[in-house]
Amino acid sequence: MAHILIVEDDPLNMELAVKLVGMKGHDVSEAITGEDALDMVKGSDFDLILLDIMLPGIDGLEVLAKLQDDPETAAIPVIAMTAYAMRGDRERFLNAGCVDYIAKPIDLDEFWRTLAKYVDE
Amino acid sequence: MNKHNNGKGTYVSMPFLKEERSLIDAITERVERIIERKQAEDALKCSESKFRSYIENAPYGIFVADENGNYVDINEAASRITGYSQAELLTMNLIDLISSEDHEKAAESFETVVKTGHSTYELHFETKDGSKRIWVVNAVKLSDNKFLGFVADITERKHADERIQYLNLVLSTIRNVNQLIVMEKNSDVLIQKVCDILTENRGYANAWIVLLDEHGKYINSAESGLGKDFTTMRTMLEDGKLTNCGNKVLKTKDMVVTEDPAKDTGRGCYSTCIRHGDNIYGLLTVSVPGSFIKDKEEQDLFREVVGDIGFALHSIEVEKKHKLAEQVHIETEERFRSLFENISSGVAVYTAVDDGKDFIFIDYNRASEQIDNISRKEVVGKKVTEVFPGIRDLGLLDVFQRVWKTGKPEHHPISFYEDEMITGWRENYVYKLPSGELVAVYDDVTGRKQAEAALQKSEEKLHLAIEGSKIGIWDWMVQTGEMTYNERWAEIAGYTLDELEPISIKTWNQRVHPDDIKRFDKVIKDYFEGRTDFYELEVRMLHKDGHWVWVLDKGKVTKWDPEGNPIRMIGTHLDITHRKQVEKAMIHAKLVAEEANRNKSDFLANMSHELRTPMNSVLGFSDLLLMGEYGKMSEKQKKPLEHVHEKGKYLLSLINAILDISKIEAGTMEVYYERFNVQHVLNDLQTMMIQMAAKKHITIDMDVDPQLTEITADLTKFKEILYNLMENAIKFTPENGLVMIDAIRKDDHARISVTDSGIGITKEDQDRIFEPFIQADGSTSRRYGGTGLGLNLVKEYVKMHGGSVWVESEVGKGSTFTFTIPIEPAGGEI
């Protein structure tokens, strides 16, 4: 069981993600904006972050950069979970420092397979 | 030297004197006849008074003396000549008036008259005031033992006569001196001989010369007519002392005339320095009769003689120096001679005649003989205008005359020479030697000229071609900055060539845009230092109207010096302003297009994102619902939810296809090449499709050429192509049918066919099915599903790889879709 932060601004998509993660028995925290996410990671013990890229305010890539800049949070694996699913997007986010990539619309099986790579059920 | 021959009035008085004598004779004769008549007609005493009146009034001195010489009758004129009154003379004797030195001569003459009855004699007389005169006396013996004399004063004429004789002596002296000068080459002998001539020809009583060196020190002396009298003088001169007169001469460098220094000799002297130009060689002093000492002509003549002696001494000295130099440089001379003879250019040496109006050949080298086809013997000593009559028309004679006059060398450019014997193109360099001789170095450039003419012709052609092509030409002498442009060059900048005068490299530099001149400096340096093969630069030039003109400037060095520095460079200017404007417009258009593309890409990316985001909820929640995450569902509930899920997926594939086609149309679709094994990809796809095929019991057969292994292509697109074709094949193949995949290597292409046993496509539809949103029949989509975009994507992807796709079909039997793509992309890009 792990503590997972989901950063997602779309309420329905948040609900879906929370459901999918919850189904595997993990603790979930929710952040609607990048700023919220950065506030929440301070002093916390997240095992994984599922990060939407298009966010109001600072976007996912900026959040990622800030996380990496902070030694306290730099080690937390981040998976990009985004509707940016055109050719080259996957490579773009992996190059930026995400450990993995989940395209929306989510293929449920693929989602869980990916999640399992980083956290134990 | 011959001006004393020009005969002044006084010198022709001798014939007048003779006339006078004959007049006197005539008068005497007449008087005799009168006296005879008087003797015969003694009675005619009245005539005596007539005779007396005649004598009294005669213009000549007439006297009558008795047998002892005492004057018994004297006329007025005789009184005037002698200075004594008639009364005084009547108390005197003939002898009283005659100078003592002529007393003897007078006695002889008197005896002659007594014996022969008449005599004519010239004697020196002294007048009452003591002045010495020369009179000619014509005396006859009268019947009464008296003597009748006619007297004329010929002193002046006599002096003039003497002077002529004297000047003749001077002349002969000068002649002798000149002959001597020409002959004598030893200065010591020369001065001695000069002294001898000056005295022996009795021109002067004595003469002495002292030779001095350039510092005024005694070298040698010579004298004539002085003998022992010169001994003291010589000692003094040898001691380095000069006479006062000598010092004065050296100081003034002019002639000093001393009149009768001893007051009693009746002689004076001329002293002068012997010189030539500023060089003083010594002093010459001669003794001159007092009567001529002040004669200007005499002085001039003397000066002339001295000048000649100066010239002679100068010549001797120069010759001595030359001889020395000649000896020292005899080898050099020979070398020059050999050079002169063997040089390939013609060399002719001339001396000027007719005051520099014409020139005589004095030397003519071998090359000249060949060029002019005439031998040295035939030209040397002849006038250039005789040998080469065409020289005047050539313009070279003018050059000769100028060079001879000014001493400035001149180049007479290539010109055409023509006379009756020869013709040809000549180029002359003319200069004057210090000796005054003229040298012409020349070449026969006829061959070159002909070549040049041919070149010029081709250049003219080129020129015409260039003018036609609107190319500006520049010709740059790099080291001097000299520039030549053609009219077009100026025209590009809005000028005429005349307006740009004076033209130099600055004409260009000053008009180049300051930013470009820096680039120019670098680019030209790179070229000059061998880092580039030619010079090429696009620069802005200021147009006359004030705007900038873009010019493509290109050039190459045509001549380098031995150190590798450029001497001459030629290049072109091409007005590329229009091209630049087009380029600028194109760049702008490209930027706009890129911007638009970027906007399109961004739009598509956003569109994709915005469409996928809700699809995430649609598909995600419907999936979860079907999985029973939100409670168990009845079959009745499940069925429509499955439709939702299925159509959601279809919608997603439709979105993907539309986005792909939009990307293709926007030109933002890129090809990502990678190397992969075709066999493996086909196997994977077969596995993937089997599930779909199995639903309709369709068999998928596959035959892959072992030659076809790895290719380089966009893997995703390659898969997409095959997926679409296989999906279509399965879709349109009836149950229990067969789908065949055939992959072979054909030359450098992979050729893959997908054959179905489906409904087939009409000929008409075969042409349309690759267009977007087209299915062969509007009804098919309802029966078979599909976006109608698959084949369009196939066509576009194949095209992107440089391949082709086509269909062969027969209605009711099935279709074969074939595509080819290169094994390696064209141009090898990966």
Taking the C-alpha atoms of residue B554 and residue B549, their distance in angstroms, rounded to an integer, is: 16
| CB-CB neighbors (< 8 A) of A93 in chain B | none
Tens of pLDDT, residues B632-643: 889 898 999 998
Query: CB of B772 within 8 A of CB of B788?
Result: yes
Taking the C-alpha atoms of residue B151 and residue B24, their distance in angstroms, rounded to an integer, is: 9
- Judged by CB atoms closer than 8 Å, whether chains meet at B617 and A83 is answered as no
Q: Which of A51, A11, A86 is nearest to B609 (CA)?
A: A86
Which of B109-113, B166-170, B188-192, B819-823 tops mean pLDDT? B819-823
- Judged by CB atoms closer than 8 Å, whether chains meet at A16 and B604 is answered as no
pLDDT of res. B326: 65
What's the token pair of residue B450?
């002909």
Tens of pLDDT, residues A38-79: 999 988 889 999 999 999 989 999 999 999 999 989 999 999
Helix (H/G/I), strand (E/B), else coil: B530: coil
State the pLDDT confidence band at B5, using cuts at 50, 70 and 90. Answer: very low
Tokens 């002898």 belong to residue: B95
Tens of pLDDT, residues B433-459: 888 888 888 888 888 778 777 877 877
Taking the C-alpha atoms of residue B698 and residue B734, their distance in angstroms, rounded to an integer, is: 8
What's the token pair of residue B300?
């001039």
Tokens 């994709």 belong to residue: B608
Helix (H/G/I), strand (E/B), else coil: B538: strand
Residues 6+ away with beta carbon under 8 Å from A75: none
| CB-CB neighbors (< 8 A) of B659 in chain A | 86
Query: CB of B107 within 8 A of CB of B98?
Result: no
- Judged by CB atoms closer than 8 Å, whether chains meet at A23 and B621 is answered as no
User: How are beta strands A78-82 and A100-103 bridged, if at all?
Assistant: parallel
| CB-CB neighbors (< 8 A) of A12 in chain B | 617, 621
Taking the C-alpha atoms of residue B559 and residue B11, their distance in angstroms, rounded to an integer, is: 81
Taking the C-alpha atoms of residue B88 and residue B101, their distance in angstroms, rounded to an integer, is: 23
Q: Which amino acid is at B640?
A: P
| CB-CB neighbors (< 8 A) of A103 in chain B | 612
DSSP B354-413: TTTTEEEEEEE-HHHHHHHT--HHHHTTSBHHHH-TTHHHHTHHHHHHHHHHH---EEEE
Tokens 């293709």 belong to residue: B664
Q: Which amino acid is at B474?
A: W
Query: Could you say which DSSP state residue B282 is in?
Result: E
Alpha helices in B706-760 (DSSP H): 715-732
Dihedral-angle region of residue B283 (phi above 0 means left; psi in -120 to 50 means alpha; beta otherwise):
beta
- A-contacting residues in B 47-66 (Cβ below 8 Å): none
- Judged by CB atoms closer than 8 Å, whether chains meet at A10 and B613 is answered as yes
Partner A contacted by B604 (CB < 8 A): yes
- Judged by CB atoms closer than 8 Å, whether chains meet at B619 and A106 is answered as yes
Taking the C-alpha atoms of residue B292 and residue B675, their distance in angstroms, rounded to an integer, is: 132
| CB-CB neighbors (< 8 A) of A11 in chain B | none
CA-CA distances (angstroms) from residue B628 to A16, A17, B637? Answer: 14, 17, 11
What's the token pair of residue B74?
């004297």
State phi, psi for B826 to the nearest 5 degrees. -60, 135
Tens of pLDDT, residues B486-545: 888 888 999 998 998 888 888 888 899 998 989 999 999 999 999 999 999 999 999 999
State phi, psi for B428 to the nearest 5 degrees. -120, 140
pLDDT of B41 higher than 70: no
| CB-CB neighbors (< 8 A) of A102 in chain B | none
What's the token pair of residue B29?
């004769």
Tens of pLDDT, residues B683-729: 989 888 888 899 899 999 999 999 898 999 999 899 989 999 998 89
User: Closest chain B residue to A102 measured between Cα atoms?
Assistant: B616
pLDDT of B18 higher than 90: no
Query: CB of A34 within 8 A of CB of A7?
Result: yes
Helix (H/G/I), strand (E/B), else coil: B533: coil
Partner A contacted by B653 (CB < 8 A): no
pLDDT of A1 higher than 90: no
- Prior bond to B502 cis, omega within 30? yes
Partner A contacted by B603 (CB < 8 A): no
Query: Could you say which DSSP state residue B93 is in?
Result: B
Q: Closest approach of chain B CAs to the CA of A104, in angstroms?
A: 5
pLDDT of res. A66: 95
- Judged by CB atoms closer than 8 Å, whether chains meet at B605 and A23 is answered as no
Taking the C-alpha atoms of residue B136 and residue B154, their distance in angstroms, rounded to an integer, is: 7
Q: Which of B412, B416, B393 is nearest to B402 (CA)?
A: B412
Query: CB of B721 within 8 A of CB of B798?
Result: yes
Mean pLDDT of chain B: 82
Residue count of chain A, please give it.
Answer: 121
| CB-CB neighbors (< 8 A) of B608 in chain A | 83-86
Tens of pLDDT, residues B384-416: 998 899 998 888 999 999 998 898 888 888 888
- Judged by CB atoms closer than 8 Å, whether chains meet at B613 and A87 is answered as no
State the pLDDT confidence band at B14, using cuts at 50, 70 and 90. Answer: very low
| CB-CB neighbors (< 8 A) of B670 in chain A | 87
State the pLDDT confidence band at B46, using cuts at 50, 70 and 90. Answer: low
pLDDT of B158 higher than 60: yes
pLDDT of B121 higher than 90: no
Query: CB of B135 within 8 A of CB of B154?
Result: yes
Q: Which residue has the higher pLDDT, B169 or B760?
A: B760
Helix (H/G/I), strand (E/B), else coil: B129: coil
Taking the C-alpha atoms of residue B485 and residue B555, their distance in angstroms, rounded to an integer, is: 13
Q: Which of B829, B780, B761 is nearest to B800 (CA)?
A: B829
Taking the C-alpha atoms of residue B465 and residue B167, their distance in angstroms, rounded to an integer, is: 85
| CB-CB neighbors (< 8 A) of B605 in chain A | 84, 86
Tell me the residues of A at the B interface, defined by beta carbons under 8 Å apart. 10, 12-13, 16, 19-20, 23, 54, 82-87, 103-106, 108
pLDDT of res. B829: 46
Helix (H/G/I), strand (E/B), else coil: B187: helix
State the pLDDT confidence band at B39, using cuts at 50, 70 and 90. Answer: low
Q: Closest approach of chain A CAs to the CA of B822, in angstroms?
A: 23
Q: Which amino acid is at B557?
A: V
Query: CB of B277 within 8 A of CB of B247?
Result: no
- Judged by CB atoms closer than 8 Å, whether chains meet at A104 and B659 is answered as no
Residues 6+ away with beta carbon under 8 Å from B55: B62, B73, B75
Of A13, A86, A87, the CB nearest to B617: A13
State the pLDDT confidence band at B15, using cuts at 50, 70 and 90. Answer: very low
What's the token pair of residue B544?
């006359």
Q: Closest approach of chain B CAs to the CA of A76, in angstroms?
A: 26
Interface ipTM > 0.90: yes
pLDDT of res. B782: 44
pLDDT of res. A8: 95
- Judged by CB atoms closer than 8 Å, whether chains meet at A108 and B624 is answered as yes
User: How are beta strands B814-822 and B749-755 bridged, if at all?
Assistant: antiparallel
Taking the C-alpha atoms of residue B503 and residue B476, their distance in angstroms, rounded to an integer, is: 11
Taking the C-alpha atoms of residue B503 and residue A101, their distance in angstroms, rounded to an integer, is: 72
Residues 6+ away with beta carbon under 8 Å from B37: B44, B47
- Judged by CB atoms closer than 8 Å, whether chains meet at A13 and B610 is answered as no
- Judged by CB atoms closer than 8 Å, whether chains meet at A105 and B616 is answered as yes
Q: Which residue has the higher pLDDT, B571 or B7?
A: B571
Task: Read off the pLDDT of each residue in B737-748 and give the average, rounded to a whole number.
Answer: 92
Q: Which residue has the higher pLDDT, B376 or A5?
A: A5
Q: Which amino acid is at A31?
A: A
- The percent of residues above 90 in pLDDT, for chain B, comes to 19
- Prior bond to A105 cis, omega within 30? yes
Task: Read off the pLDDT of each residue in A4-30 and give the average, rounded to a whole number.
Answer: 94
Q: Closest approach of chain A CAs to the CA of B601, in angstroms?
A: 11
- Judged by CB atoms closer than 8 Å, whether chains meet at A85 and B612 is answered as yes
Query: CB of A111 within 8 A of CB of A4?
Result: no
Query: CB of B98 within 8 A of CB of B122?
Result: no
pLDDT of res. B2: 38
pLDDT of B3 higher than 60: no
User: How are beta strands B358-364 and B256-258 bridged, if at all?
Assistant: unpaired
State phi, psi for A100 to the nearest 5 degrees. -155, 180
- Judged by CB atoms closer than 8 Å, whether chains meet at B616 and A84 is answered as no
Radius of gyration of chain A (CA): 13
pLDDT of res. B108: 85
Residue count of chain B, please give it.
Answer: 830
- Judged by CB atoms closer than 8 Å, whether chains meet at A103 and B612 is answered as yes
DSSP B589-632: HHHHHHHHHHHHHHHHHHHHHHHHHHHHHHHHHHHHHHTTTTS-
Taking the C-alpha atoms of residue B277 and residue B311, their distance in angstroms, rounded to an integer, is: 9
CB atoms within 10 A of CB B724: 22
Partner A contacted by B623 (CB < 8 A): yes
Of A82, A85, A106, the CB nearest to B620: A106
